[in-house]
Structure 1
Amino acid sequence: MQSKVSIIQEVPEESLPRERLLAFGEKALANHELLAILLRTGYRDTNVLGLAMQVLSSFENLAQLKLASLVELQAIKGIGQAKAIELRAAIELGSRIAQSTLPKLGQLTSTEEAGQWLLKEMRDLHQEHLVVLFLNSKNEIIRKRTIFMGTVNSACAHPREIFKEAVKYPTARIIMAHNHPSGDTTPSGADLNFTERMIECGDLMGIEILDHLIIGDHSYRSLREEEGLFE
């Protein structure tokens, strides 16, 4: 069996930034390594890492690189029109991403407001759906996600599936809802146990579980208001 060191030594130098990104993530890479991934290849007697260093040394800082024109980029040895265009496109995309914001689906003033909204959306579903609203610190809904769709008498989901989604966004609070196709909003033992587990996990994660709503035909039930689980 080959050692890890020998395997790395066999990787071409131009591939090392990609290998490092796969192994350690993009944040572990230096600026010239990230740039080398975009450039892909070097030129005669200079590998892609060397070319990336040349590009960076041609500007005082990354802010100056961001402002570089196609003409300025092509003035660097090893940067032709194709590479210059790709760099400009990558820079512009990065700029647009930096200026973008997460879409908001509205701001909630109460869980009752959420209950009325979800009642309209979920009361006619024939299977149980577990829907989660992810809220920021201003109670703005930044994500609405159906976590689980089950049979007409079973809706099971592990807390990790919800919190895995929550940590992708600036989530401060969560409202959960699932429907009972029978129309009866009486919570089952499984509903109560799941809610308790979610509250415990939320306390550990620093994400508040605002409520768990059970949606029926014409009404919904708030477990926060009626079951005393949130005390």
Structure 2
Amino acid sequence: MRSIKNWPADERPREKLLASGAEKLTDAELLALIIRTGDSASQQSAVDLARSLLSRFGSLRQLSAASIGELCQQSGIGPAKAAEIQALFQIARRFSDTRLRPGQVYRSSQDAFQHFHERLCDYRKELFFALLLDSKNRLIREVQISEGSLSASIVHPREVFAPVLRESAAAVLFVHNHPSGDPTPSREDIDITNRLKQVGDLMGVRVLDHIIVGNGDYVSLADRGML
């Protein structure tokens, strides 16, 4: 393994960043600065190891969704380096966090998408949430209703509307993700939405929307006139 220390200065990631800025580095070079050292067993430098990780997972986004165990399957990545990689992506998520805050007015489906996208776009199970709003469409709180496949047995009106009643919410909207990345609503999505809308009407609670989050995109049933 040829040590990065022996590379020409303009090829070393750290020196390249200091001289030209972080935007000039490749994904592998940036990742190499995080993992710092290579793998002596496979004779890979830190840059080689970073390239192997990106090749294994396909992209930075897919790498960001990898578990500690999955990262450690790569030769040269132990628990310490895996933790550093996960910490990097968590910082990035928090920096780009555009969640609605309690008391903030909900204005459009884009607000809900931005609120949930970073958390849900790469999640491998379906999560179903409700955003509880007051009479002026200000956020009261977010509630997770279920985790798993979306079905009538999991998303039951009783569990969905219990927190609505506790918080005296005047309106509610629902959000869930599609782990496939495709936000196209299924027949079951539409049926459950209609069922929840009927219950909301009976209770005097406005059901504003059901938003399905995919990878970089979303579908609002209200925007499509399906609610």
TM class, shorter-length = 0.5 to 0.7
**Which residue in the other structure is 2:11 paired with?**
none
- Counterpart contact for 1:132–1:144, Cα < 8 Å: yes
Q: Which amino acid is the alignment partner of residue 148 of structure 2?
A: G
- Counterpart contact for 1:111–1:210, Cα < 8 Å: no
**Which residue in the other structure is 2:31 paired with?**
none
Residue 154 of structure 1: how far off its partner (Å): 5.9
Q: Which amino acid is the alignment partner of residue 173 of structure 1?
A: A
Paired residue for 2:107, among 77, 98, 109? 109
**Which residue in the other structure is 1:229 paired with?**
226
Quote the Cα distance in structure 1 between the aligned partners of 2:222 and 2:179.
21
Quote the Cα distance in structure 1 between the aligned partners of 2:142 and 2:116.
11
Q: Which amino acid is the alignment partner of residue 229 of structure 1?
A: M
**Which residue in the other structure is 1:190 paired with?**
188
Instruction: Report how many residues are paired.
Output: 126
**Which residue in the other structure is 2:217 paired with?**
219
In the TM superposition, 1:54-133 aligns within 5 A as 104=102, 106-133=104-131
Q: Residue deviations 1:50-100, cap 9 Å, x none?
A: xxxxxxxxxxxxxxxxxxxxxxxxxxxxxxxxxxxxxxxxxxxxxxxxxxx
**Which residue in the other structure is 1:19 paired with?**
none
Paired residue for 2:132, among 123, 131, 134? 134
Q: Which amino acid is the alignment partner of residue 204 of structure 2?
A: G
Quote the Cα distance in structure 2 between the aligned partners of 1:184 and 1:154.
18
**Which residue in the other structure is 1:159 paired with?**
157
Quote the Cα distance in structure 1 between the aligned partners of 2:103 and 2:116.
13
Quote the Cα distance in structure 1 between the aligned partners of 2:113 and 2:147.
19
Residue 116 of structure 1: how far off its partner (Å): 2.0
Quote the Cα distance in structure 2 between the aligned partners of 1:113 and 1:154.
25
Quote the Cα distance in structure 2 between the aligned partners of 1:137 and 1:121.
27
The alpha-carbon distance between structure 1 residues 217 and 154, as it changes in their structure 2 partners (threshold 3 A), is farther
Q: Which amino acid is the alignment partner of residue 111 of structure 1?
A: S
Quote the Cα distance in structure 2 between the aligned partners of 1:201 and 1:160.
9
Q: Which amino acid is the alignment partner of residue 215 of structure 2?
A: D
Quote the Cα distance in structure 2 between the aligned partners of 1:191 and 1:225.
15
Unaligned 5+ runs, structure 1: 1-102
Q: Residue deviations 1:118-150, cap 9 Å, x none?
A: 122211211100011000112111110110000
Residue 105 of structure 1: how far off its partner (Å): 5.4
- Counterpart contact for 2:185–2:212, Cα < 8 Å: yes
Residue 107 of structure 1: how far off its partner (Å): 2.2
Q: Residue deviations 1:183-222, cap 9 Å, x none?
A: 0111111100000001111100000111000000111100
Q: Which amino acid is the alignment partner of residue 188 of structure 1?
A: S
Quote the Cα distance in structure 2 between the aligned partners of 1:200 and 1:184.
27
- Counterpart contact for 1:128–1:154, Cα < 8 Å: no
Runs of 4+ in 1 over 4 A off after TM superposition: none
- Counterpart contact for 1:211–1:222, Cα < 8 Å: yes
The alpha-carbon distance between structure 1 residues 216 and 154, as it changes in their structure 2 partners (threshold 3 A), is farther
The alpha-carbon distance between structure 1 residues 161 and 217, as it changes in their structure 2 partners (threshold 3 A), is same
Quote the Cα distance in structure 2 between the aligned partners of 1:200 and 1:154.
17
Identity among equivalent pairs (%)? 39
**Which residue in the other structure is 1:20 paired with?**
none
- Counterpart contact for 2:151–2:188, Cα < 8 Å: no
The alpha-carbon distance between structure 1 residues 154 and 193, as it changes in their structure 2 partners (threshold 3 A), is closer
